C-alpha cells in the first residue's frame, strides 16, 4: 500500500517513519508550511510570568513553544499524545495529555487547574480549530492566545501529490485537519485531478475532516474512531 501524507513536512516525515513499520509506503506532499512569527518570543516571555500553565493544541505548537523560550518548568497541557510527545522531545517535563480533541483538553484543564491560580497561555498558530478559550472562559478561566507560528497553506498542489494522483500510484490519502482537507480539495480541483480520487480512499482524523474531504469523489471516506494517529492507522490498515 502507498499513502499520500499531506501534513507539514516534519510531521509527515514522522508519520512516514511509523507507516514504514507497517510496511506501508508514503508519498510526502505537505500542504501546510510552518514558520515562526518574528518577535513573538518576547511577548511569550512576559506572558509566562504569572501563568499557571501552557496549552498546546498541536505538535507544531509544542515545538514553537520550545523555540520561543528556554523555560521547561511550566506545566504543559497537550491536546493529544502527538503534541505531548513533541513537548517531551523538546525538553518539557511537566506534561499532561488529553488524548483527544479541544473539548477533551478543556475538560482536562478544568480537572487539574484552578481559575484563581493564574492565566492560561494557549500557544497557537495563525489558524486555530475550536474555541478553547471560550470553553474555559465559561468556567472562569482567563486564557491568552499567543501566536508563535504561521501555518501557511500551499497555493498549488505539490508536485509529489500531482504525480501520485495523475499516475495512480497511491491507494489512500491521510487527512488530519479540516483545513488541510479543504485546501487539498481546492488544489486538486484546480489541477483537474478530481477523477483521480475515485481510485483511492480518504482516511480522516474526525467527522469534521471527513466533511471537508467529501468535496472530492473519493472511492470511500473512512473516519478514525478517536482523533489520534493510532486510531487513524487502525482504520487505514483495516483493523476497525
Could you tell me the pLDDT band of residue 240, with boundaries at 50, 70 and 90? very low
What's the average model confidence in pLDDT over 24-36? Answer: 93
Identify the pLDDT of residue 100: 83
For residue 110, the SS3 value is: helix
Identify the pLDDT of residue 99: 87
pLDDT in tens, 108-122: 999 999 999 999 999
Identify the pLDDT of residue 129: 65
DSSP state of 123: E
Could you tell me the pLDDT band of residue 218, with boundaries at 50, 70 and 90? very high
Is 50 exceeded by the pLDDT of residue 210?
yes
Cα gap 203→237, rounded to integer Å: 10
CA 170 from chain centre, in angstroms, equals 22
pLDDT in tens, 126-141: 666 668 888 999 999 9
As a 3-state breakdown, the chain gives helix, strand, coil percent values, each rounded to 5, of 40, 20, 35
170 forms beta bridges with none
Q: What are the structural domains, with CATH classification, of the chain?
A: 2-31+155-236 (3.40.50.10090), 34-151 (3.40.50.10090)
What's the average model confidence in pLDDT over 82-108? Answer: 93
Amino acid at each position: 500500500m502507498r499513502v499520500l501524507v499531506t501534513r507539514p513536512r516534519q510531521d509527515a516525515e514522522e508519520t512516514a517513519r511509523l507507516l514504514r513499520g507497517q510496511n506501508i509506503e508514503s508519498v510526502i506532499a505537505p500542504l501546510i508550511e510552518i514558520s515562526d512569527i518574528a518577535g513573538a518570543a518576547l511577548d511569550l516571555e512576559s506572558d509566562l510570568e504569572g501563568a499557571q500553565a501552557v496549552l498546546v493544541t498541536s505538535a507544531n505548537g509544542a515545538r514553537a513553544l520550545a523555540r520561543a523560550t528556554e523555560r521547561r518548568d511550566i506545566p504543559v497541557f497537550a491536546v493529544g499524545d502527538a503534541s505531548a510527545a513533541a513537548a517531551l522531545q523538546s525538553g518539557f517535563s511537566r506534561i499532561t495529555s488529553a488524548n483527544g480533541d479541544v473539548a477533551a483538553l478543556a475538560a482536562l484543564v478544568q480537572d487539574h487547574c484552578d481559575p484563581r491560580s493564574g492565566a492560561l497561555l494557549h500557544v497557537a498558530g495563525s489558524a486555530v480549530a475550536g474555541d478553547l478559550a471560550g470553553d474555559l472562559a465559561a468556567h472562569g478561566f482567563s486564557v491568552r492566545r499567543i501566536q508563535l507560528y504561521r501555518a501557511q497553506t500551499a497555493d498549488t498542489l505539490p508536485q509529489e501529490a500531482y504525480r501520485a494522483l495523475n499516475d495512480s500510484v497511491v491507494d489512500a490519502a491521510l487527512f488530519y485537519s479540516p483545513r488541510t482537507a479543504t485546501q487539498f480539495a481546492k488544489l486538486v480541483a484546480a489541477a483537474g485531478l478530481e477523477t483521480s480520487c475515485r481510485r483511492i480512499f480518504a482516511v480522516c482524523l474526525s467527522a469534521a475532516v471527513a466533511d471537508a474531504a467529501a468535496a472530492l469523489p473519493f472511492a470511500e471516506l473512512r473516519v478514525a474512531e478517536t482523533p489520534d494517529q493510532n486510531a487513524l492507522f487502525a482504520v487505514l490498515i483495516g483493523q476497525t
